[in-house]
């Protein structure tokens, strides 16, 4: 809910009373468009159904908001990119490690923001599969709340710092329970895909360790602002993703 200035007379959708004042008369939900008094906003349950007309883009949009607005289990950008990569890119050397041309990756981002699931990311439009992998990584980097959320982050890092493999898996199980449903489902789908990427390691040279190096900082961001602590966490982020890929079948 954000403070909003309404043009013309407006009534609160919670108490049905008039919103007084010329500016900042109330608050408006960025997801579903609900208009209420500031004092009424404390009583409004935080479980709105986002309206597509208020969800203007795909990238940089909260993951849960996006899936609720589109009535999907996962963001369509994740499904579409993974489908494209698996249909023609699994044997591509350095898959996910090799960078695509940044201007074309930006093109894919704009196509998703503009056209949603009608975006054309086929081989006819983008012959280089690294453009599609780049667009997928950019989607995760642009999330306002990372795929592995700030709340769950410490528990995931704790698992990577644990020496005993059985204990590691136990802590990872606990960490996954801390993720919102849309985040957990998207992570599950992505890890199953990355596991399939490792099955083609002979051709693409991408092991679980290599994918961990690429995806660790992409899926996880340290909640604290301490730069040194964030730097120290990079090796643990890599380990978390590596463990998730290797144990995908047990954990999800």
Structure-model confidence comparison of residues 55 and 7, the more confident one: 7
Structure-model confidence comparison of residues 184 and 1, the more confident one: 184
Q: What's the pLDDT at 190?
A: 98
In a domain, 242, yes or no: yes
Q: Quote the pTM value.
A: 0.81
Q: What's the pLDDT at 7?
A: 72
Domain of residue 154, CATH code:
1.10.555.10
- Range of the structural domain that residue 17 is part of: 1-49
pLDDT band at 225 (very low <50, low <70, confident <90, very high): low
* Phi then psi dihedrals of residue 107, to 5 deg: -60, -45
Residues composing the chain: 252
Angle at 40 between CA 39 and CA 46, to 5 degrees: 120
| Statement to judge: residues 215 and 117 lie in one domain | yes
In a domain, 110, yes or no: yes
Q: What's the pLDDT at 123?
A: 96
Q: What's the pLDDT at 34?
A: 67
Residues 29-57 have pLDDT tens digits of 765 566 777 877 776 666 555 454 555 68
Residue 10 reports pLDDT greater than 70: yes
Task: Report, as an integer, the average pLDDT of 152-171.
Answer: 96
Whether residue 248 contacts residue 195, with contact meaning beta carbons closer than 8 Å, is answered with: yes
In a domain, 223, yes or no: yes
């Amino acid at each position: 809910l954000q403070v909003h200035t309404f043009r013309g007379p407006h009534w609160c959708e919670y108490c049905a009373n008039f919103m007084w004042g010329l500016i900042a008369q109330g608050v408006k939900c960025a997801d579903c468009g609900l208009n209420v008094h500031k004092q009424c906003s404390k009583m409004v349950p935080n479980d709105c159904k986002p309206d597509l007309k208020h969800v203007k883009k795909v990238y940089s949009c909260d993951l849960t908001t996006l899936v609720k607005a589109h009535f999907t289990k996962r963001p369509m950008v994740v499904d579409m990119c993974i489908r494209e990569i698996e249909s023609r890119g699994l044997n591509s050397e350095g898959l996910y490690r090799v960078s695509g041309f940044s201007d074309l990756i930006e093109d894919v981002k704009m196509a998703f923001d503009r056209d949603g699931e009608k975006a054309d990311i086929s081989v006819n439009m983008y012959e280089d599969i690294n453009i599609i992998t780049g667009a997928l990584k950019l989607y995760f980097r642009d999330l306002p709340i990372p795929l592995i959320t700030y709340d769950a982050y410490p528990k995931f890092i704790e698992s990577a710092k644990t020496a005993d493999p059985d204990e590691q898996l136990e802590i990872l199980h606990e960490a996954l329970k801390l993720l919102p449903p849309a985040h957990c489902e998207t992570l599950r789908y992505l890890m199953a895909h990355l596991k399939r990427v490792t099955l083609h390691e002979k051709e693409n040279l991408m092991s679980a360790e290599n994918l961990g190096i690429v995806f660790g900082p992409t899926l996880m961001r340290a909640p604290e602002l301490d730069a040194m602590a964030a730097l120290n966490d990079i090796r643990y982020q890599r380990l978390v993703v590596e463990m998730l890929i290797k144990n995908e079948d047990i954990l999800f």
